[in-house]
A and B are shown apart, each in its own frame.
Chain A
Amino acid sequence: MSEYGTHDKDGISVGIVAKKIFTFAEPPRQMSLDSGKKLGPITIAYETYGELNKERNNVVMVFHALSGNSHAAGYYREKDVKPGWWDNMVGPQKGIDTDKYFVVCSNIIGSCYGSTGPSSINPATGRAYGLDFPLITIADMVRAQKALIDHLGINKLLCLVGGSIGGMQAMEWAVSYPKMVESVIPIASTCKRSALAIGLSEAQRQAIMADPSWKDGGYYGTAIPEKGLALARMIGHISYLSEDSMHRKFGRRLHENNAFKYDFSGDFQVESYLQYQGKKFVERFDANSYLYITKASDYFDLGEQRGRGSLVEAFSRSSAKFLVVSFSSDWLYPTSQSKEMVSAMKKAGIDVSFCEIETDFGHDSFLLAHTQLTRLISGFINRMSNGGERNSQV
């Protein structure tokens, strides 16, 4: 995902929100990871919006993607320049209506926004983990989220919604904890990343690791690998856009003076835009987190890991209803991959809806304000809150 949300044009917002913290898996009761290693204590940063009802059955979980965090909606302070990253979708009367639903969004482990990750202090050494942080998987992230949900006293999840890597977490939840999950909306997501996506991921990791400041991940307290992380972000950012959207936004327009400079400082607008995106990203994200999270998403293979090689078998574990959404110009997780998921769900007898939305904004489309996406999500969740009955309006 690229950038944070913008202010609601109608000024509607969930308002001032606060980040909360939950810590568990204190040694010796550390959490076991897919890698065989153990991790603990684990802290999870999370936010909630709306009210949990008496029956505790109005919970909607929102999952963020690679560079996101628990701050999905609202503002921390009155003066904040920007709201949470999905403020256009989450709030009163919005697609995920906080007047009706209790929304939970937590920061994934491995990240750098309050949940335990490579930049956290390793209690064993008193210093940041760096590369001593164990490799994690999407399933590990979900296990940690499950501990949070248990802690909140919730045992039914009305709907799980996530874009990109967030969609992977939502699907992992559905097959790992089938009794808890009633419905799932994976958006611009995939059950396994293609070689193209893994290749792009690896190029981004190599960019970080090639920066001399990276120092095998041990840069905390010294200069950070700014250049490497900025370059990784530039590559990543391109993969979230599309040829058409880039053409519309930049074309071949020049940055200044309308003439070539005949040097390598950047003539084209697209160059300076990407350089700016890279620089801005360095201020808010940890390079090691970038390595760990991209690796986790590369490892994800739902059919292989949860269905002994069969995606149909993996989905057979779930009794949730699904709404799968893809975007026509997303070439990172293309529609064909969403259709593959839908096909497996149908074979598994799952009640699934699917819609490819025609747009040229690429993979990032899910973050943009989009009436059609909002209608899909709100309609689907409302159906679920009516007890799964398809109580339709005339």
Chain B
Amino acid sequence: MRFDLQIIGELVEERSRVLDLGCGRGDLLDLLQREKKVEGYGIEIDEKKAIEGISRGLSVLKGDINEETKDYADKFFDYVILSQTLQQVYQPEVLIKEMLRIGKKGIVSFPCFNHYGIKLQLLLTSKAPVTEELPYEWYNTPNIRVITLRDFRIFCAKYRIKIIRELAISSHYKKTTGKVVGFLPDWFARYGIFLVSSF
């Protein structure tokens, strides 16, 4: 199991109702259902992945995360998760507000641009950084946003989003083991996981 998903799993309380935005094949929901007995829902735009999620016993809607969140009642979910997707979202403010409308809490994780390796790459090579987490060239990346931990904190303050917990992780998110960074996260974190809510 991916380390970031393990961490998210630890943030979620047992028997809660969870919506995963961009749930893929449903790995996280599957883990949460087994380990935490949650009621798992997902939204996934890719047909094959959505079918895989449904066929393994999850409730999945094939569709766009910006559209499919709309019809749920206020606070229908205990947690709404946006995992490793924020960097591709067109209107982060709208989406995160919607997450916190339909969910009591939100969990947002994203690869961050503050790792010292990235800072050094830009400084020394004068090229847009390419890393394991963000392995694309500027001309073929699906990631339309460059985010740092600090950026996200500022964003939350501006849009009145309460950060309940912040975890900085130093390993690649696809690895199964990793480390939560305590020391200088703004230099050593490769991605961040935030547990948020409305004020």
Task: Indicate whether A149 reaches chain B with its CB closer than 8 angstroms.
Answer: no
Q: Which of B60-68, B124-132, B191-199 forms contacts with chain A?
A: B60-68
Chain A: CB-nearest residue to B71: A346
Q: Do A356 and B71 touch (CB < 8 A)?
A: no
Question: How many angstroms between the C-alpha atoms of A353 and B48 in the bound complex?
Answer: 14
Task: Indicate whether A392 reaches chain B with its CB closer than 8 angstroms.
Answer: yes
A-B contact pairs, 8 of them (CB 8 A): A342-B71, A353-B54, A353-B59, A353-B60, A379-B56, A380-B55, A390-B33, A390-B59
Task: Given A355-B62, A376-B51, decide whether A347 and B57 contact each other with a Cβ distance below 8 A.
Answer: no
Question: How many angstroms between the C-alpha atoms of A343 and B30 in the bound complex?
Answer: 24
Question: How many angstroms between the C-alpha atoms of A378 and B48 in the bound complex?
Answer: 15
Task: Indicate whether A20 reaches chain B with its CB closer than 8 angstroms.
Answer: no
Minimum distance in angstroms from B26 CB to a CB of chain A? 8
Q: What number of residue pairs across chains A and B have CB atoms under 8 A from each other?
A: 76
**Can you list, as one digit per residue, whether each of A296-339 has a CB less than 8 Å from chain B (1) or not (0)?**
00000000000000000000000001010000000000000001
Cβ-neighbour of B58 out of A346, A375, A390 (below 8 A): A390
Q: Do B59 and A351 touch (CB < 8 A)?
A: yes
Cβ-neighbour of B57 out of A343, A354, A392 (below 8 A): A392
Task: Report chain B residues within 8 Å CB of A378.
Answer: 55
Question: How many angstroms between the C-alpha atoms of A379 and B52 in the bound complex?
Answer: 9
Question: How many angstroms between the C-alpha atoms of A393 and B34 in the bound complex?
Answer: 9
Task: Report chain B residues within 8 Å CB of A386.
Answer: 57
Minimum distance in angstroms from A26 CB to a CB of chain B? 44
Task: Indicate whether B167 reaches chain A with its CB closer than 8 angstroms.
Answer: no
Chain A: CB-nearest residue to B69: A346
Task: Report chain A residues within 8 Å CB of B72.
Answer: 346-347
Question: How many angstroms between the C-alpha atoms of A82 and B46 in the bound complex?
Answer: 36
Minimum distance in angstroms from A317 CB to a CB of chain B? 17
Question: How many angstroms between the C-alpha atoms of A108 and B63 in the bound complex?
Answer: 34
Task: Indicate whether A352 reaches chain B with its CB closer than 8 angstroms.
Answer: yes
Question: How many angstroms between the C-alpha atoms of A358 and B45 in the bound complex?
Answer: 12
Task: Report chain B residues within 8 Å CB of A391.
Answer: 57
Minimum distance in angstroms from A97 CB to a CB of chain B? 13
Minimum distance in angstroms from A366 CB to a CB of chain B? 15
Q: How large is the interface on A (under 10, 10 to 19, 20 to 34, 35 or more residues)?
A: 20 to 34
Task: Indicate whether A349 reaches chain B with its CB closer than 8 angstroms.
Answer: yes
Task: Given A343-B71, A347-B73, A357-B47, decide whether A392 and B56 contact each other with a Cβ distance below 8 A.
Answer: yes
Minimum distance in angstroms from A330 CB to a CB of chain B? 15
A interface residues (Cβ-Cβ under 8 A, vs B): 321, 323, 339, 342-343, 346-347, 349, 351-358, 372, 375-376, 378-380, 382-383, 386, 390-394
Q: Do A383 and B62 touch (CB < 8 A)?
A: no
Q: Do A392 and B59 touch (CB < 8 A)?
A: no
- The dominant DSSP class at the A interface is mixed
Minimum distance in angstroms from B15 CB to a CB of chain A? 12
Question: How many angstroms between the C-alpha atoms of A386 and B58 in the bound complex?
Answer: 13
Interface residues in B, total, Cβ within 8 A: 27
Question: How many angstroms between the C-alpha atoms of A343 and B61 in the bound complex?
Answer: 11
Task: Report chain A residues within 8 Å CB of B39.
Answer: 351, 390
Nearest first, the 6 closest Cβ-Cβ pairs linking A and B are A379-B55, A383-B57, A346-B71, A390-B57, A392-B57, A355-B62
Cβ-neighbour of B76 out of A349, A379, A392 (below 8 A): A349
Task: Indicate whether B108 reaches chain A with its CB closer than 8 angstroms.
Answer: no
Cβ-neighbour of B55 out of A342, A354, A375 (below 8 A): A375
Question: How many angstroms between the C-alpha atoms of A383 and B60 in the bound complex?
Answer: 13
Minimum distance in angstroms from A383 CB to a CB of chain B? 4
Minimum distance in angstroms from A9 CB to a CB of chain B? 21
Minimum distance in angstroms from B99 CB to a CB of chain A? 15
Question: How many angstroms between the C-alpha atoms of A321 and B39 in the bound complex?
Answer: 13
- Could you say which of B47, B48, B54, B73 has the most chain A C-beta atoms within 10 Å of its C-beta? B54
Q: Do A354 and B71 touch (CB < 8 A)?
A: no
Chain A: CB-nearest residue to B27: A394
Q: Do B58 and A354 touch (CB < 8 A)?
A: no
Task: Indicate whether B8 reaches chain A with its CB closer than 8 angstroms.
Answer: no
Task: Report chain A residues within 8 Å CB of B63.
Answer: 339, 354
